[in-house]
Amino acid sequence: MKKLLLPLGIIVAIIVIAIAIFSGSYNKFVTAEENVDQAYSQIETQLQRRVDLIPNLVNTVKGFAKQEKEVIGQVTEARSKLAGANGPEDQAAADSELSGALSRLLVVVENYPELKSNENYRQLMDELAGTENRLAVARKDYNDEVASYNKQVKRFPGKLVASMFGFDEKEYFKAEAGAESAPDVDFGADE
């Protein structure tokens, strides 16, 4: 009887240790995945804030720059794309397009000094600048969480737990190709 209890006790101890290791790893993955989702929701919050600010900015500029309808149309179209984008890749592409359109809009504003001194315009630009800063921080925080999570998914023994329970690598929030350079703006002023 004693000979049977010792191997049985060893097997039970191994099972308990394995359960403790796997449950700890599993819980770490759950926590890390929630951190990634929470960080991503901050990006979405700031993108929504940006999308909400843009109509006010566009309407303010419209009052001063009626002939710049093409640029205003591009901003409005890019805003719609961002509002309808889903997932980090689509949102990054739409965000990049909107940033380019906003850059062109700001060039239009340079041609209207009275607009730059308008109180509503200045307030909207301050809010937009604040939103852009919050968005940059939210992107960085998200990518930091994704890096931490992806390291857990790739490292041993986490790789075993991740594959057993379906924890896959997460996508980074990346800028679109060409986003590192300023967009070309030409209104045909030299013609």
pLDDT tens by residue, 127-150:
888 988 999 999 999 999 999 999
Task: Considering only residues 162 and 191, tell me which one the structure prediction assigns the higher pLDDT.
Answer: 162
Q: What pLDDT digit, counting tens, does each position of 21-72 carry? A: 778 888 899 999 999 999 999 999 988 888 888 888 878 777 766 656 777 8
User: What proportion of the chain, given as a percentage, has pLDDT over 70?
Assistant: 86
* Structural domains for the chain: 21-165 (1.20.1440.20)
User: Using CA atoms, how far apart are residues 36 and 54, in angstroms rounded to an integer?
Assistant: 27
Furthest CA-CA distance within the chain = 101
As to burial, measured by CB atoms within 10 angstroms (0-12 exposed, 13-18 middle, 19+ buried), residue 6 is exposed
